[in-house]
Amino acid sequence: MFPLYLGLVVEMEDHDHDIFQIPPVRMIPASNEAIIQSLKTSKLPPESFCSICMSEDDEDDDDKEEVEFSAMPCGHGFHHRCIVQWLNTSHMCPICRYTLPTTND
């Protein structure tokens, strides 16, 4: 009885690594046209919070009086620089997963 049990344990250990492997996630960027057409850019006070960089102001911006923010069609707003960089990687809003068209659409 013991050799049978030992055989099952050894067999499970051989396949154990397959169970816990996570397949790679392939993100699809939004098309350049969708980024240009869908973002509404405005100037907001520096205390406006960006959920991508987790900052209230854009450290790379010299003008601390007003920071350029862009709103997605879903209404979520981000630093313009942050959301453009995000959409060049993923076609979804980082908060609600609203989808923009891709080059494959």
pLDDT at 25: 72
Q: Environment class of residue 7 by beta-carbon count within 10 Å: exposed (0-12), middle (13-18) or buried (19+)?
A: exposed
pLDDT tens, per residue, the chain with 105 residues: 455 555 555 555 555 555 667 777 788 999 999 999 999 988 876 567 899 998 776 555 555 556 788 999 999 999 999 999 999 999 999 999 999 999 876
Short-list 81, 24, 27, 91, CA closest to 52: 81
**What is the residue extent of each domain of the chain?**
24-105
pLDDT at 24: 75
pLDDT at 30: 93
The superfamily (CATH) of domain 24-105 is: Zinc/RING finger domain, C3HC4 (zinc finger) (3.30.40.10)
Burial 29-64 (b: 16+ CB within 10 A, else e): bbbeebbeebbeeeeeeeebebbebeeebbeeeeee
